[in-house]
Amino acid sequence: MTERKFVKKIMQNPVYLAITGIIGAVLLFFLVLYLAVPSYRFDESEPFHGEFVFNPYQEVDSNKFDNPIYIDFRSNSIENHGVNAYEYGFAMTGTRFLCLGYKEVRKMDYPFLQSIHYKQYNLDQLNKTARLVAPAHPSKGFKKGEFTNLDHYRVIEALSDNDNSLYYWDIALSNGHRSNIIASGEKSGFTTACLSDDEPESIYKSLETGNSYGIRFKNNLNEVPVLECVTLKNDTISISVSEKAKEIRFIGQNAVTKQTVENSNHAFYIFKNDDSYIRTEIEFEDGNMLYLNPIVRHQYQYFFDQDHAFVMKGRTYLMWAVYIIVVVAYIRFLVVKIKYKNKKSC
């Protein structure tokens, strides 16, 4: 009886009916929004492998090493370089992406829970309107396991204000996803050095190819030592910096430190047969640090990115068809039930 009176009250009161309609429309909007995301298939990940080794610094002119361009991609100072950037996302999960060189701002997001399918779909959509898309402060909005499969990005914001996501970067690299570091947040002492010309496309290309490195500085950025060279001859990696370093650490698969060189401005590392990648951290006595992009193995003479994430069209269409049938059936059920109750109450 109470239920009948409640339904009748709603049907007879225009205000209640309007509120119910609005709530129903909002719920339907979010339902359609979430259900419209396609289903992805992620290929089984594997470490970098092959007989070839790629060094992202191999073709950089020595003048570029001596005069790096320091850019904080979260500062208004990027406008001085012609670069534009914005942070995408307003999900409660904290999932965010840093979009560089964008043509338009994406306004659609999934505000509640997000699985890896939603994050991958957002990445794919953002790539259509931005030159580069980077997972932003990953430890705050992503699960570690998601970087085993998440694909279609070339840069990652591994260091930023109140966030250290270097381990997330290593998870991606350990699973064969080529990604280069972005460090941002000058107020917290992070910035990125680009070994490029001071114009937008050159800067984007620098990040994309890995002709850049991350910096953590303690006081004055201009006092931070610079990277002088990174060479790979046969199987020997050679690294030089402008001042003596406290430690030069070579880090490989699964974030394992493979070798440490102390109190030197020069270091060598033999790239072993079982090394999938090697990235380098250079720490100085005053706390300044350089984070170099990885040297990685690859299968073919010309290095190109493998595609690990695919939209499953058949499964997606079937899933959409099932959802539509269920939603239509449920709406029809509610309409019939309301009509029946109204008829019975008369």
Asked if residue 132 and residue 29 are part of one domain, the reply reads no
Asked if residue 121 and residue 196 are part of one domain, the reply reads yes
Rounded-to-integer distance, Cα 286 and Cα 339, Å:
77
What token pair was written down for 204? 């984007």
Residue 327 within a domain = yes
Q: Which residues contact 217 (CB under 8 A, 6 or more apart)?
A: 189, 190, 191, 223, 224, 288
Rounded-to-integer distance, Cα 167 and Cα 272, Å:
22
Residue 344 reports pLDDT greater than 70: no
Q: Nearest-CA neighbor of 150 among 83, 97, 105?
A: 97
Q: What is the mean pLDDT of residues 121-126?
A: 97
Spatial strand order in the sheet of 155-160: 163-164, 155-160, 180-183
Q: Nearest-CA neighbor of 190 among 216, 209, 168?
A: 216
Asked if residue 218 and residue 195 are part of one domain, the reply reads yes
Q: What percent of the chain has pLDDT over 90?
A: 69
Asked if residue 20 and residue 156 are part of one domain, the reply reads no
Counting the structural domains of the chain, the total is 2
3-state secondary structure 159-201: EECCEECHHHHHHHHHCCCCCEEEECCHHHCEEEEECCCCCHH
Asked if residue 318 and residue 197 are part of one domain, the reply reads no
Asked if residue 35 and residue 58 are part of one domain, the reply reads no
pLDDT score recorded for residue 1: 45
- Per residue in 164-176, pLDDT tens? 999 999 999 999 9
If DSSP codes are grouped into helix, strand and coil, which group holds residue 38?
coil
Asked if residue 184 and residue 139 are part of one domain, the reply reads yes
pLDDT score recorded for residue 314: 72
Q: What is the mean pLDDT of residues 180-204?
A: 95
Q: Are 269 and 281 in contact (CB under 8 A)?
A: no
Residue 19 reports pLDDT greater than 80: no
Owning domain of residue 15: 2-39+312-345
Asked if residue 268 and residue 238 are part of one domain, the reply reads yes
- Per residue in 42-67, pLDDT tens? 999 999 999 999 999 999 998 999 99
Residue 7 within a domain = yes
Residue 47 within a domain = no
- Per residue in 283-323, pLDDT tens? 999 999 999 999 999 988 666 677 889 887 777 767 667 66
Asked if residue 244 and residue 338 are part of one domain, the reply reads no
For 48-78, letters b (16+ CB in 10 Å) and e give beeeebbbbbeebeeebbeebbbbbbbeeeb
- The four Cα atoms 25, 330, 30, 112 give a dihedral, to 10 degrees, of 130
Asked if residue 135 and residue 8 are part of one domain, the reply reads no
Residue 117 reports pLDDT greater than 50: yes
The amino acid at residue 254 is N
Asked if residue 336 and residue 257 are part of one domain, the reply reads no
Residue 109 within a domain = yes
Supply the CATH number for residue 69's domain.
Answer: 2.60.40.3080
Q: Are 137 and 88 in contact (CB under 8 A)?
A: no
